[in-house]
Structure 1
């Protein structure tokens, strides 16, 4: 309990911001879904076959996994708030449409006949008779949709839309139960409060309900417009992938840039998501800079042929990555840091000693004993498990796990082999050893800032400033900094400042 209170105090500003983001995304998504589903249900009320088809379509849309839907939207609308809202609207359509249709369908026919006998027009009958009677059922659908939206909106953090999901994802990544609980409890309380407010809204007259919803929508739209207008033109947005290491690096970028030009406004978007999300955001000008690894560029981001990438040393890997990014995407890849954050396979010291293993090729003699837990990305990459099996003749299967959960599973004895990065703090935290890549399979992964060529030409001082990190930060340095953030619970900003000051890069 003390840890939760302490975390709340330390992160109260971030929590308020995340709560506001979550609220905004949820309310706007709900109102848009209502604006689509309710009129559509009213329109098809007299057309049973059309209603059945639309209900079927809405049901199918709701079965699409949320992550898959977000992934499908990214190529068309980029990342951030827009795809998050689209996805949430899709999920909210079914309960609102279905309840509106059923609510109007179940009105007693004698009431409809009485309204017709009084000579009411279609619109007057709808507003004065049908909607008031159907309102309890409609509101029930709206409340169901709202709870669904608020729960699903936590995934918006994966594509840079913010919200309470940032606390949950950060908590999982840092093995911080307090952060997970704060994000989950805040999300649940938000759902309860908003659901109650909708219940209260149900008791007022229909016209007042519509007016209230309109005011809420205009308020959010107006605030968003105001923020867009107020946003300074001289602003750089720097994003980082999930994890402590990208968070430390982007804080270094911010400190260096703002030291060089105090008038430059730098905004950080930490724990932004996976590689593909960040790369898409950069190409769509939604972010300006993010740290990327040379091996990842060649493996996942640019088009290459096998002959180009064979037997490359670290310098050749970086130069090829830089060349391909410039020719294919007009992106500028700045000078790399010293450390090589390459993939590795890790086991406990006890397991290594008992089975007399020190290198990856030793695994071929004991594959029946291997219980592997690995990240989905590593399992699916050709420079990960797929390629590793071919080069080393391995046949074992691996269970997919979230990055930090695989380390916990290894420590608890549920698995005995995991994939790792050479700078992971968990290697030290759990007293693990990495197996030697004795066939030199894993490529070089040197980190460097990635930005558009246009930004590099407009702000050469930023290029010069960030290149100060070139050939800085060893693997030991990076692992130690990750350890401070993940285990000692120091802030990435503080850790970044400490390193920069120690190496005379920050005044």
Structure 2
């Protein structure tokens, strides 16, 4: 409880921001779903076959896994609030449409006949008889939809849309149960609060319900408009992948940019997702800069010329990555830092000693005893598991898992081999062994800022600021910084600033 209280105090500003983002995206999705589902349900009340068809379609859409739906939307509409909102709207349509349709069609037919006998028009009958009688059922559908939206909206953090999911992801990634619990409890309390509020609307008169719903609409659209206006202002958006290391780097980028240009508006999007998410966001101008590694560029972002192989030289790897990014993607790759955050194949010290494992080649002796836990990106990369199969001739039982869960899995004995990075703090924390890459499968992985060419041309001062990190940060220094964040629970911003000041890259204030 003490740790949770301390975390709440330290991150209260971040929590409020995440809460507002969560409310914004949830209400916006609810409003759009209501505008689609309620009129559509009213329109098909006298067309039962058509209504059944729409119910079936909405039901099928709701069965699509949320991650799969987000993955399908990203190539079409990019990353951020738009795909998250679309996905939430799709999930919310069914309960609203279904309850509206049933609420109207289940009204006692004698009441409708009486309305017709009094000479009411179709619209008079709808607004004076049908909607007032069906309103409790409609609001119940809205209530169910909103609770569903608030719970599902935690996944929006995976694609850079923010919200309370950022706390959950950050907690899982850093093995910080306090952060995970804060995010989960906050989302649950938010769902309970809005469910209670809408429940109140079920018990009041129609005009009050409509007034409250109108206020929700106006408030949601107004806040979304204000946010869009704010985002339209000149801003440098810097994003990072999942993990403490990218979080440290993007904070360094911000501090260096702000020092040289105090008036610059810099926005950070930490734990933005996998490589493909960030590259798509960069190319679609949703972000301006993110730290990328030279080996990742050559193995996953560009096409190597015919006959070209990945060099086993740090400088040649960077030069080739820089040239191909410029030629193929029109992206500017700034100068790299010193440390080499290459892939590592990791086992426990006990397992290594038991079978005398020192190199990756040694795993051939114990293939049948291995159950590996790899993240999805490593599973599908030529410098990952595919490379282990091709270059080392290794094939063993594998489980795919989120990067943040690998170390926990090997600690619990669920797996006995995992992928990781050479600068991971967990190697030191859990006394693990990174096996030597004796056949040089893994290329050099030096981190450097990646940005669009037009951004580099428009803001030459930013290029100059970020190039101050060229040749800085050793392997040992990065491992220590990761350890400070993941184990000592220091904030990435604090660790980044301390390094910059200690090495005279940032002036003290």
TM-score by length of 2: 0.97
Instruction: Name the residue aligned to 1:252.
Output: 252
Distance in 2 (alpha carbons) for counterparts of 1:130 and 1:217: 22
Distance in 1 (alpha carbons) for counterparts of 2:250 and 2:97: 44
Distance in 2 (alpha carbons) for counterparts of 1:146 and 1:352: 51
Which piece of structure 1 moves more, 132-141 or 452-461? 132-141
Instruction: Name the residue aligned to 1:476.
Output: 476
Instruction: Name the residue aligned to 2:73.
Output: 73
Distance in 2 (alpha carbons) for counterparts of 1:55 and 1:216: 26
- CA deviation after TM superposition for structure 1 residue 231, in Å: 5.6
Q: Is the 8 A contact 1:232 1:265 kept in 2?
A: no
Instruction: Name the residue aligned to 1:400.
Output: 400
- Summarize the Cα distance change of 1:373–1:306 in structure 2 as closer, same or farther, 3 Å threshold: farther
Gapped regions of structure 1 (runs ≥ 5) = none
Q: Is the 8 A contact 1:168 1:181 kept in 2?
A: yes
Gapped regions of structure 2 (runs ≥ 5) = none
- CA deviation after TM superposition for structure 1 residue 204, in Å: 2.6
Are residue 185 (structure 1) and residue 185 (structure 2) matched?
yes
After TM superposition, the structure 1 = structure 2 runs for residues 172-321 of structure 1, keeping only pairs within 5 Å, are: 172-230=172-230, 233-305=233-305, 307-321=307-321
Q: Is the 8 A contact 2:158 2:273 kept in 1?
A: yes
Structure 1, residues 444-478: CA drift from partner, whole Å, max 9, x if none?
Answer: 21110011111111111111111111111111111
After TM superposition, the structure 1 = structure 2 runs for residues 352-363 of structure 1, keeping only pairs within 5 Å, are: 352-363=352-363
Instruction: Name the residue aligned to 2:466.
Output: 466
Q: Is the 8 A contact 2:24 2:223 kept in 1?
A: no
Aligned residue for 1:366, secondary structure, equals helix
- Summarize the Cα distance change of 1:305–1:50 in structure 2 as closer, same or farther, 3 Å threshold: farther
Q: Is the 8 A contact 2:257 2:264 kept in 1?
A: yes
After TM superposition, the structure 1 = structure 2 runs for residues 38-437 of structure 1, keeping only pairs within 5 Å, are: 38-230=38-230, 233-305=233-305, 307-437=307-437
Distance in 2 (alpha carbons) for counterparts of 1:159 and 1:426: 26
Distance in 2 (alpha carbons) for counterparts of 1:298 and 1:205: 64
Aligned residue for 2:290, secondary structure, equals strand
Distance in 2 (alpha carbons) for counterparts of 1:389 and 1:230: 49
- CA deviation after TM superposition for structure 1 residue 234, in Å: 4.2
Which piece of structure 1 moves more, 337-346 or 299-308? 299-308
Aligned residue for 1:344, secondary structure, equals strand
- CA deviation after TM superposition for structure 1 residue 235, in Å: 2.5
Distance in 1 (alpha carbons) for counterparts of 2:420 and 2:310: 23
TM-score by length of 1: 0.97
Q: Is the 8 A contact 2:92 2:149 kept in 1?
A: yes
Aligned residue for 1:19, secondary structure, equals helix
Aligned residue for 2:84, secondary structure, equals helix
Distance in 1 (alpha carbons) for counterparts of 2:233 and 2:29: 28
- CA deviation after TM superposition for structure 1 residue 208, in Å: 3.2
- CA deviation after TM superposition for structure 1 residue 309, in Å: 2.7
Distance in 1 (alpha carbons) for counterparts of 2:268 and 2:492: 12
Aligned residue for 2:208, secondary structure, equals helix
Instruction: Name the residue aligned to 1:505.
Output: 505
- CA deviation after TM superposition for structure 1 residue 312, in Å: 4.3
Distance in 1 (alpha carbons) for counterparts of 2:306 and 2:165: 39
Which piece of structure 1 moves more, 325-334 or 206-215? 206-215
Structure 1, residues 329-364: CA drift from partner, whole Å, max 9, x if none?
Answer: 221100011111111100111110111110011111
Distance in 1 (alpha carbons) for counterparts of 2:156 and 2:124: 41
Q: Is the 8 A contact 1:359 1:437 kept in 2?
A: yes
Distance in 1 (alpha carbons) for counterparts of 2:488 and 2:358: 29
Aligned residue for 2:472, secondary structure, equals coil
- CA deviation after TM superposition for structure 1 residue 228, in Å: 4.1
Q: Is the 8 A contact 1:339 1:475 kept in 2?
A: yes
- CA deviation after TM superposition for structure 1 residue 56, in Å: 1.2
Q: Is the 8 A contact 1:309 1:317 kept in 2?
A: no
- Summarize the Cα distance change of 1:230–1:71 in structure 2 as closer, same or farther, 3 Å threshold: closer
- CA deviation after TM superposition for structure 1 residue 233, in Å: 4.0
- CA deviation after TM superposition for structure 1 residue 130, in Å: 1.1
Structure 1, residues 382-420: CA drift from partner, whole Å, max 9, x if none?
Answer: 221012111111120211122222111211222111111
Distance in 2 (alpha carbons) for counterparts of 1:328 and 1:311: 19
- The size of the alignment, in residue pairs, is 507
Aligned residue for 2:448, secondary structure, equals strand
Instruction: Name the residue aligned to 1:2.
Output: 2
- CA deviation after TM superposition for structure 1 residue 225, in Å: 2.8
Distance in 2 (alpha carbons) for counterparts of 1:75 and 1:376: 19
Q: Is the 8 A contact 2:296 2:445 kept in 1?
A: yes
Distance in 2 (alpha carbons) for counterparts of 1:442 and 1:281: 26
Distance in 2 (alpha carbons) for counterparts of 1:459 and 1:327: 21
Aligned residue for 2:332, secondary structure, equals strand
- Summarize the Cα distance change of 1:389–1:306 in structure 2 as closer, same or farther, 3 Å threshold: farther
Which piece of structure 1 moves more, 98-107 or 162-171? 98-107
- CA deviation after TM superposition for structure 1 residue 8, in Å: 0.5
Q: Is the 8 A contact 2:310 2:317 kept in 1?
A: no
Distance in 2 (alpha carbons) for counterparts of 1:304 and 1:62: 41
Q: Is the 8 A contact 1:282 1:451 kept in 2?
A: yes
